[in-house]
Amino acid sequence: MQMRIHVCLIVLFAIAICANTAIATSEEDPNWNKSVNYTLYWGDNIEVDGFLIKANDFSKARPFDVETDYVMLTIISDESDEWSALLAVNNSQIPDSGIFGERLNITAFEVVTGNDIPAPYTKIGVSTLNITEEETGSWINNTISVSKTIYKETYIDERVFIAVQIENLRNLEFPNVTINENLPENVLTDPDIEVDQIIDISPYSKNTIQYSVKALRPGNYTIPPTEIELVYRGVKYQQQTNSTKLVVYGPYITAEKTATIDENNPDNLDISIKLENKGNRAAYVEVKDEMLENWILKEGKTSTELVIFPNKVKKLEYSVASENLRANTIVPSAEIYFSDSKGYSDTFTTKKFYILEEMEEEVPESDVNMNEQVQETEDPSISEEEIEYPKFGPIRSVKDIIDNTMKVINEALEYK
C-alpha cells in the first residue's frame, strides 16, 4: 500500500513538471500584481483575470496533516488552454507555486486534509502579470490581424474600392470593437456607407468592411491606416493597418479673371483670364467670356480654344472701352469648359467682381478721415457669394467723387 502511494505521488509530480516547465514566484518578478488570497474546498472553482481555477483533487485524508499533503488544481484559460498543477506546502519534492500561461501565478500556503473536517481545502494566493505597453502590443498582434486592400491607381472620375479585413486569431469573443477610418483632404467616401463602425467579433472569425472613395482632384494621396480598438479584461488594445498610396490621374483646370483700368486711358479696361492645369493629364479647354452692353472690344478676343499640358499656364487677354467705367461696375464671369482624351469633362465659371479705380492724385490728410461709404447700385440677380471684392486694379477715392460733385455745383452757380 505504501509503495502504491509513492508511485501515485511520482506520477502526479511528473504531470506537474510537464504542465509547467517554468516555476517561479511573484517575488522573482516585480512586474506581478499584488497577490489575492482565496480558499478553495474540494470541487470549488474561482475565476481570476480570465482563468478558471478549480480544486480538482486532494491527497488522501489522514487523521493528521503530513508534509505529503497536496492539492491538484485544474486551470483553464479563456483561450481554452488547460493546465494541471500539483502544489504542496513545505514539501521538498512538490512545489508550492507555479506560473500558467505566462500571466497567472498561483502559490499554495496551506493544504488541509483530515478525517476530522467535512472536506479538504487549500488556501492559495493568486497574482496576475502586470502587462506593459510592449506586452500589450505583442498580445494584440497575436490576437487580431488587420489588412487593407485598395487599388493603387485610378482616374479622377472613378471610385476606388477599399476592403478592410479583420481576422480574430483566438477563441475569444470581442464585443463593441471600434473601427476608425481616416481619409486625406479631397478624398470623399460613399455617402451611403458609414465607414466608422462598431462591430462584434466572434472567435476565429473574419470580418470584411468594404466601401468606396472618390478623389476631387488628381494627384498622389496617402491613405492613413485603419484603426481598430477593443477592450479586453479592462485593458484597451489598438491595432491598425499600414498606410497605402493612391495615385489619381486627370486634369485639374483653374481660372482667374482680372480687370485693370488703363492708366493712360481711364475709359479702357484690360481683361486677363489666367488658365492653369494643376493636374497630371493634358486637357482641351474652351473659354467664353462675357462683355457688358456698353463695352466695346478694342483688342484681342473674348473666347478661345486651346490645349493645356500638366503644370502649364496660358492666358486669354483682351481690352474693352467704355465711356462710363464706375467703381460699382460688376465684371461678369467667364465660362470655362474642359475635357481630356479619356472623356472626363467639367464646366465652371470665374467669380464676378467690382472694378475699382486707383486715384492718381495724393489724398490730403484732411480727407483721409472722411470714411464716407460710396452707395453701390446692387444687381438683384447677383448674389454676394458670386462677387469678388477689391482685388485687382486701381482704387477710386471718395475725394474724386466729391470733386466731381463740387464741379457740378459750381457750374450750376455760374449758370445762374
pLDDT value of residue 361: 38
d(CA 198, CA 200): 7
Closest CA to 401 of 355, 378, 352, 367: 367
Which amino acid is present at 189?
T
C-alpha cell recorded at residue 78: 479563456
d(CA 374, CA 130): 75
The per-residue DSSP string of 212-280 comes to EEEESS-EEEEEPPPEEEEEETTEEEEEE---EEEEEE---EEEEEEEEE-SS-TTEEEEEEEEEE-SS
Q: Residues 201, 168: contact at Cβ < 8 Å?
A: yes
pLDDT value of residue 80: 77
Q: Which residues contact 26 (CB under 8 A, 6 or more apart)?
A: 32, 35, 105, 107, 127
Triad 251, 278, 276: Cα angle to 5°: 100
Reading phi first (left if > 0) and then psi (alpha if -120 to 50, else beta), residue 142 is in: alpha
Which alpha helices (H) appear in 103-238, and where do they start and end? 133-141
pLDDT value of residue 124: 94
Q: Report all structural domains of the chain as residue ranges with CATH numbers, in order of start.
A: 2-130 (2.60.98), 135-249 (2.60.40.10), 253-405 (2.60.40.10)
pLDDT value of residue 356: 65
pLDDT value of residue 180: 92
- Give 351: exposed, middle or buried? Use CB within 10 Å, 0-12, 13-18, 19+: middle
For the chain (length 416 residues), average pLDDT per consecutive 10? 48 45 44 88 90 90 72 86 89 88 87 83 88 67 90 90 92 91 89 83 92 92 93 83 93 94 85 96 95 90 95 95 76 94 94 65 41 41 45 44 56 52
pLDDT value of residue 416: 47
**Count of alpha carbons within 13 Å of 266, Cβ hemisphere only?**
12
| Structure letter (DSSP) for residue 185 | T
pLDDT value of residue 34: 87
Strand partners for 308: 283
pTM greater than 0.85: no
As a whole number of Å, the CA-based R_g of the chain is: 42
Closest CA to 290 of 303, 299, 276, 272: 303
pLDDT value of residue 132: 61
